[in-house]
Structure 1
Amino acid sequence: MPDLILLFAVSLVANTLSSLAGGGAGLLQLPILLFLGLPFPVALSTHKLASVALGAGATLKHLRAGTLDWRFSAVVLAWGLPGVWLGAQLILAVPERAAMLALAVLTALLGVQSLLQPQLGQQSAPRARHGWQLWLGGAVLFGIGMLNGSLASGTGLFVTLWLIGWFGMDYKQAVAYTLVLVGLFWNGAGAVALALQAGVHWPWVPALLAASVLGGYLGAHWGLARGNRAIKRAFEVITLATACSLFWKAWA
C-alpha cells in the first residue's frame, strides 16, 4: 500500500505537468517504477500502458473543446504509428546509454530553442499541409515515432515542437494533438508491442491508470484556461528538466 500511494502521487504530478506541457510524463513516472524495483523493459512497457490513460483523460477535455482537426490527426497517426511499432521492435538492440545521451541533447535543444524565441507558438498560422512539405513533416513524425516506441522520456515534447515549428500550430493546439494522438494512439501501440516482449507489472497498473486519467484531464483543463504563454513556460521547464534527468540516468 505505501508503494501504491507513492506511485499514485508521483504519477499524478507527472501526468498533470505532461498534459500541460505536451509531454514529459516519463521524467518522473519511469524513474519511480525503476526505483520501486521493476526491470527497465517491464518498467517501460508499464509506463507506456499508463500513458494511454493520460491520452484518454486529455481526450475527454479536448473533444468537449473541439480542438482537433481529425483529417490532420489521421496524417499524424498514419506517419507516426509505423515508427512507434518499429522503434518498439528495436528497443532491445539499441545501446541504452548512447540513446539516452542523444535524446538528452536533443531535448535540451528543444527547451533552449523555445526560450530563445519568445513568440514561438503564440499564434496559429497553419502551413505545410500539402505536397513535399507535408511528406517531409510526416517523415519527421515517423522518426519521432521510432523514438517514442523505444524510449519513454521526452518524445511527446518533440512532437509538440514539431507541430509548432513545421505545421504552424500554437502551443495550445500542438499540446492538444500531442496528448490525444501520441498519448492515446502512439503510446497504445507502443504499450502493446513492448508488453508482448517484456510484459507488464499488472498490480501497479490501476494506480497508474487512475493518476494518468486524472492528471491528463487536469493538465488539459489548466492549459485551455491559461493560454499559450503559460503552456510555453511549462514546456520549457519540462524539456530542460527532462534533459537533465536523461543526462543523469545515462551517466549514473
Structure 2
Amino acid sequence: MIIEQLSLLLISLLANGLSAMAGGGAGLLQLPVLLFLGLSFSSALATHKIASVALGIGATLRHLREKSLDLRFCLFILASGLPGVVLGGILILRLPESLTIFCLGLLTTGLGVYSIFKPQLGLTHQPRNRDRRGLYLGGVVLCLIGILNGSLTSGTGLFVTIWLVRWFGLDYKTAVAYVLILVGLFWNGFGALTVALQQPPHWEWLPALIAGAIIGAYTGTHIALKKGNSVIKRAFETLTILVGIKLIADGLLLF
C-alpha cells in the first residue's frame, strides 16, 4: 500500500511538473499508470480528471504572485470553453475512442513540429485578434478544444496553449499561465464533475495524486517563470511530440 501510494505521488509529481512547464500533457504519464495498476478506462478517467484539477491549484498558487492575467480575457476563455468541456464529458463514455485518439495524436504531434519550424513563435507578446470577428472565431475554436478536453485526457491543454500563442498573439509564458489556471482549474474541474457524476473515481488513490499534482505544478510553474519563453517553447515542443506519439500508438492499439 505504501509503495503504491509513493509510486502514485512520484508519477503525479513528474507528470504535473512537466505539464506546468509546457502548458498541458499531464495525462501522458498519469492515465496510463492508473490503467496499468488495474483501473478500468472509465474509472481511471474519472480519477485522473479529478486529480488534474490540482494541477490548476498548484499553478494558481504560483501565478497569483505574478498578477499578469487580464480578467476580461480570462472570462472569455471560460465562457468559450466550458460548454464544450461539459459536452465532451457527457460524450466520452458513449463514443468509440480509437479513431478520435489516433487523429488527436497526429494533430498534437503536428503542433510540436509546427512550433519547431516557427523559431520566433511565442517568444514575444503581441496581442491580436481582439476585435469582434477575432474573438468570435477564437472562441469557436476554444469551444471545440473544450469538447476534446472534456472527452479525452492527454494534450488538450497544449492545444489551448498553441491557439493562444498563434491566434491571440500571446507569448508562451503568458499563454501557459492562462492555460494552467483556466484549463487546469476550471475546465478540468467542470470536466471532472461531469465524468464523476457518471463514473465514480478510485477515491483511495486521489490523495497521493492530488498532493503530487499541487507540488509538481507549483515547482514546474516556478521553473518556467524563471527560465522564460525559450525554455517553455522547448518544453512545449518536446511534450507535444511525446504526447502525440503516445496517442497515435494508443489509437492504433484500439483499432
Aligned partners of 2:209 and 2:137: how far apart in 1?
Answer: 36
Counterpart check, 1:105 vs 2:106: yes
Counterpart check, 1:130 vs 2:131: yes
2:89 and 2:150 in contact (8 A); partners too: yes
Written as runs of structure 1 = structure 2, the 5 A alignment for 1:1-252 is 1-252=2-253
Q: Deviations over 1:134-193 (max 9, x none)?
A: 000000000000000000000000000000000000000000000000000000000000
Aligned partners of 2:168 and 2:43: how far apart in 1?
Answer: 35
Aligned partners of 2:249 and 2:106: how far apart in 1?
Answer: 12
1:3 and 1:36 in contact (8 A); partners too: no
Shift in Å at residue 10 of structure 1? 1.0
SS at match of 2:75: helix
Shift in Å at residue 4 of structure 1? 1.1
Q: What letter is aligned with 2:133?
A: W
Aligned partners of 2:95 and 2:109: how far apart in 1?
Answer: 21
Indicate the RMSD between aligned Cα atoms, in angstroms.
0.7
1:145 and 1:186 in contact (8 A); partners too: yes
Aligned partners of 2:29 and 2:37: how far apart in 1?
Answer: 12
Shift in Å at residue 88 of structure 1? 0.6
Q: What letter is aligned with 1:77?
A: L
Shift in Å at residue 67 of structure 1? 1.9
Shift in Å at residue 110 of structure 1? 0.3
1:26 and 1:154 in contact (8 A); partners too: yes
Q: What letter is aligned with 2:157?
A: G
Aligned partners of 1:157 and 1:48: how far apart in 2?
Answer: 16
2:102 and 2:249 in contact (8 A); partners too: no
Structure 1 unaligned runs (5+)?
none
Shift in Å at residue 11 of structure 1? 1.1
Aligned partners of 1:228 and 1:134: how far apart in 2?
Answer: 24
SS at match of 1:169: coil
Aligned partners of 2:114 and 2:47: how far apart in 1?
Answer: 32
2:24 and 2:156 in contact (8 A); partners too: yes
Aligned partners of 1:24 and 1:55: how far apart in 2?
Answer: 13
Aligned partners of 1:224 and 1:218: how far apart in 2?
Answer: 10
Shift in Å at residue 251 of structure 1? 2.2
Output the TM-score relative to the length of structure 2: 0.98
Aligned partners of 1:187 and 1:107: how far apart in 2?
Answer: 19
Aligned partners of 2:168 and 2:151: how far apart in 1?
Answer: 25
Aligned partners of 1:81 and 1:146: how far apart in 2?
Answer: 9
Q: What letter is aligned with 1:205?
A: L
After the TM superposition, list the runs of 4 or more consecutive aligned residues in structure 1 that deviate by more than 6 angstroms: none
Count how many residue pairs are aligned between Structure 1 and Structure 2. 252
1:79 and 1:141 in contact (8 A); partners too: yes
Aligned partners of 1:246 and 1:5: how far apart in 2?
Answer: 26
Shift in Å at residue 125 of structure 1? 0.3
Q: Deviations over 1:31-86 (max 9, x none)?
A: 00101011111111111111111100000111111121111000000010000000
SS at match of 2:38: coil
1:23 and 1:154 in contact (8 A); partners too: yes
Percent of matched pairs sharing the same residue: 57
